[in-house]
Structure 1
Amino acid sequence: MHKVRSGVARAATAIAGGLVMALAVASPAMADTSQSSASALQISLVGGGLASSGTASATNDGTTESISGNTNPPLAVLGGQTVITAGVLGQSVRAYNDGTSAACAGVLGAGGAITIGAGGSCIVTPGSEVTLNLGANGLATISLVADAIYSECTATSSPSATGSATLVNARIVSTLLGIPTTLLSLPANPAPNTGLSVPGLLNLTLNGQTSSATGQLTVTALDLSALGGALASVVIGSSSCGVNAVAPPIPVIPLAGAPVALGLGAVVAGTGGFFLHRRRAARRS
């Protein structure tokens, strides 16, 4: 009799342990999702013409990062435009499975590079000067000259998002008879949504920042609108991070099925009691 009771007890214990483990697995663990995107350069011409570097995007479902688009597009993607003829386009993106994401985008001189380092920081190696031809003012040509112009952002699933813009040796230059004159020097680390202008020629917004929701941020390093000529606008370095979120994965055993599992355990346990009762009855007879 003692052996029978011990066997039933062991069986009941095993069943209960199995059910607890199943329900524990069924309890949804939290998985952080993240996303980011970046675009190095967009040029708009009067009449509707558009040249764009395209967009690189990164997403993470909590386990796997997926990156689409070209993170280092060649200037050839801009087509036959003549605004920029030499330099580097950079649009790097990352989305991690801990709920953080990062983006970095902009224009650099030839030989420069943009990458994303540890912690989502933007690592930039400026190259030689890059020049964007903005049009003419009488006999003078107007240009935007810089070693590097870029934006960066990071976001977390807490949720939070931060971003900034950096302009390395950037300035608006008027060149007449081969002699350059600086019309406007641009700040290296402008405050968010800094507005500047060259009266009668250009309006600029530096470190433009917009947010569509808590934990989401889009940063544009430089947005320039021309007031005359064939060029309508130039947008340099648009980085977007978030919204990142904490989301539960699909449980291995849906919680709705837990009562069924527990019911099966009760049936099995009851069956063990039934067999024990039958065995006792048999011994009495």
Structure 2
Amino acid sequence: MPRVRSGLARTATVLVGGLAMAVLAASPAMADTSQSSASALQISLLGGGLASSGSASASNDGTTESISGNQNPPLAVLGAQNVITAGVLGQNVRAYNDGTSAACAGVLGTGGTITIGPGGSCLVTPGAAVTLNLGTNGLATISLVADAIYSSCTATSSPSATGTTSLVNARIVSTVLGVDTTLLSLPASPAPNTGLSVPGLINLTLNGQSSSGTGQLSVTALNLTAIGGALAGVTIGTSNCGANAVAPPIPVIPLAGAPLALGLGALAAGTGGGISFVRRRLAAARS
């Protein structure tokens, strides 16, 4: 009798193993996808001219991150223009395999740095002041001056997305015979879609935010439209995050192979039971 019980135990063990193979065949491997993109600076000129820093983008299929574009382009990519002649362009992107993504984009003064840190946070070290020449008004030169102007965003596959804008010591300045006069001081942390203007000169939208759907967000730190002159507009720091998503289940063993796995499991169980039965008959014959 003990030998019979032992054979049954072995048969049960093999059967469980076969069933486990079948379950493994049907078990899905989940993979969250993510994406982001960023552009530091766009300069529009009257007549259709455009100077652009280009863009960088990141995507992740749940296992591998792919990044394209220059995340820290030199000013030379803007070509022959005199709006900005010194400073740092940043358009950093990340897409992680847990379904989260981050972007950070904008302009800083010479010596500044802009990167994406832990948790998708935007880490910025301002340098010297950066100046964007917006044109002239009579004897005055109108400029946008700041230590840093940038936006950032993060997104998850839950889905959700958030974004912010930071303007460090940003202001619109009029310069006449070397004397600067601040026409408008810009808020350091503007609310979404804040509109401001210098009457008769420029209109601005700060922390412009828009979304094409849940879990996706586009944030532009500053959009400026000039009134008169050769400059049509300036767009600084556009960050895009999402939409990220939970990918469809991917079977560890393709579903087409599930019947084979079930068959192997059953065969293993049956073989184990058959071997146990033969061993019992041989033992009975010797006794």
* TM surpasses 0.5: yes
Greater mean alpha carbon deviation, residues 84-93 or residues 12-21? 12-21
Which residue identity is paired with 1:105?
A
Aligned match of 2:233: 233
Aligned match of 1:62: 62
Report how many residues are paired.
Answer: 283
Does the CA contact (< 8 Å) of 1:23 and 1:253 recur in 2?
A: no
Task: Give the Cα–Cα distance (whole angstroms) in 1 for the partners of residues 74 and 273 of structure 2.
Answer: 76
Which consecutive residues of structure 2, in runs of 5 or more, have no partner in the other structure? none
SS of residue matched to 2:91:
strand
Which residue identity is paired with 1:212?
S
Task: Give the Cα–Cα distance (whole angstroms) in 2 for the partners of residues 265 and 152 of structure 1.
Answer: 53
Answer yes or no: is 1:177 the counterpart of 2:177.
yes
How is 1:133-172 mapped onto 2 (pairs within 5 angstroms)?
Answer: 133-172=133-172
Percent identical across equivalent pairs? Answer: 81
Greater relative CO (CA pairs within 8 A, separation 6+): 2
Offset, 1:274? 7.2
Task: Give the Cα–Cα distance (whole angstroms) in 1 for the partners of residues 163 and 268 of structure 2.
Answer: 59
4+ residue runs over 4 A deviation: 1-9, 267-277
Does the CA contact (< 8 Å) of 2:35 and 2:60 recur in 1?
A: yes
Offset, 1:140? 1.3
Offset, 1:23? 2.3
SS of residue matched to 2:99:
coil
Q: How high is the TM-score relative to the length of structure 1?
A: 0.89
Offset, 1:65? 1.6
Offset, 1:132? 0.4
C-alpha distance after superposition, 1:26-50 (max 9, x if no partner): 4113222211111100111111111
SS of residue matched to 2:29:
coil
Offset, 1:154? 0.8
C-alpha distance after superposition, 1:59-100 (max 9, x if no partner): 122122221111111000101111100000011111111211
How is 1:200-239 mapped onto 2 (pairs within 5 angstroms)?
Answer: 200-239=200-239
Offset, 1:272? 6.5
Offset, 1:135? 0.9
Which residue identity is paired with 1:28?
P
C-alpha distance after superposition, 1:190-238 (max 9, x if no partner): 0000001111111100000000110111100000011111111100000
Task: Give the Cα–Cα distance (whole angstroms) in 2 for the partners of residues 265 and 171 of structure 1.
Answer: 73
Task: Give the Cα–Cα distance (whole angstroms) in 1 for the partners of residues 56 and 219 of structure 2.
Answer: 15
Offset, 1:268? 5.5
Task: Give the Cα–Cα distance (whole angstroms) in 2 for the partners of residues 205 and 272 of structure 1.
Answer: 75
Aligned match of 1:122: 122
Task: Give the Cα–Cα distance (whole angstroms) in 2 for the partners of residues 101 and 233 of structure 1.
Answer: 29
Offset, 1:256? 4.8
SS of residue matched to 1:51:
strand
SS of residue matched to 2:97:
coil
Q: How high is the TM-score relative to the length of structure 2?
A: 0.89
